[in-house]
Amino acid sequence: MTDTPELPDPDTAPASDRRAVVRLRPERRRRGFGPWAYSDEVVLDRRTRALAPGSIVTVEDSERRPLATAAFNSASKIALRRLDADPAAEIDGGWFADRLARALALRETLFDAPFYRLIHAEADGLPGVVIDRFGDAAVIQPNAAWADTRLDALVAALCDVTGVTAVLKNAAGRARSLEGLDDASGMVRGTLDGPVAVPMNGAIYLADLAGGQKTGIFYDQRPNHAFAARLGRGRSVLDVFAHVGGFGLAALAAGATSALAVDGSVPALALAAQGAEASGVTDRFTTMKADAFDAMTALAGEGRRFGLVVCDPPAFAPAKAALDAGLRAYERVARLGASLTEANGFLVLCSCSHAADLTKFREASLRGVAKAGRQAQILHVGGAGPDHPVHADLAETSYLKALFLRLD
């Protein structure tokens, strides 16, 4: 058994080298250092294991050449997260401000109003960090230890750069537990008076930033809402797994004759109804509190058909271990959705599962459509909006799939 090499003693190193060093193992095949390094790709000796989760370190290759500045967490499967190409970069308030300003410039180019995802983790240079903006308020998810321990500096820079006055920390979700972090959410700056009105695709949505799912609304579906809304003009719409009415309200704003929103959450449907009222479409909007599978089965049994059916479920396959079961669930959703779609109507099927790539999701969906005795044309394949940029070296940042089908 080969002894694991020890790092140089920082007490005897030059001052410029006293920041902790973490070295990549020689068997790591990728040259240089990408956005991540897993725990089995780095040298984990006594000194590195003693580093506090979220420590800022200099990464070296196996020949001791400096590669980058990174955040280190020996307790996480993702041991290193690249922060800066400069091995000596200072991760301070100015560094945060630069990253935020760059992200803000892109969003201000893309959108006319300050309602968008401002930071999309690695793709915006802040690994493990998600920030959604709602006008003068923002919700931040510091899903990596390095960001959680520097939350005060990040929030201060966020307020300085964007001008937001209320910031809520959302600590829910599997990602934080994998980093060894707590699940304590709450306000870290300013106050919120209740749900926030969000204008999007001609409709008004009500987002509960403190008590809703994720950050309160799903900005990633914005372009898919818009595409579906065009298909729903002059048609009846069934919006399954509706949350706060994303697809249904957009379709009504574009001229759908009616929309039925189905969801298992009473609070989400209440927000959807408030959004319908704010959008002036209450007379064409109804809700159904029910399990989605039960509701679709019952509606099919009643002989109901809709011109546009949209199914946007939660992640059925969030990890590889759940892939087979998840694909079966997507197939079932497609079968039930197809049975509720009128002839020459449209069926929209969505997946936010990281483990189910587009090919697997499409195959499962089309199997379900075929089992319903329907034939489909694929009109369009959608993804997340441009405020959710994709990191070129991380397929995981391209997670959302939306299939737009026209049925026989």
Active site residues: 352
Q: In whole angstroms, give the CA distance from residue 256 to residue 19.
A: 60
Q: In whole angstroms, give the CA distance from residue 194 to residue 60.
A: 48
Q: Beta-strand (E) ranges in 255-340?
A: 258-263, 285-289, 306-311
* Token couple for 98: 């630069």
User: DSSP per residue over 348-382, as a string?
Assistant: EEEE--SSS-HHHHHHHHHHHHHHTT--EEEEEEE
Q: In whole angstroms, give the CA distance from residue 121 to residue 124.
A: 6
Query: What angle in degrees, to the nearest 10, is found between the helix axes of 323-339 and 358-371?
Result: 40
**In this structure, what DSSP letter does residue 165 have?**
-
Core vs surface per residue 68-92: b (16+ CB within 10 A) or e: bbbbbbbebebbbbbbbeebeeebe
Place of tokens 């040298």: 43
Q: Which of 215, 118, 253 is nearest to 207 (CA)?
A: 215
Alpha-carbon torsion angle 210, 215, 218, 219, nearest 10? 120
Residue 305 CA from chain centroid, whole number:
32
Q: In whole angstroms, give the CA distance from residue 7 to residue 187.
A: 40
Give the amino acid at 152. D
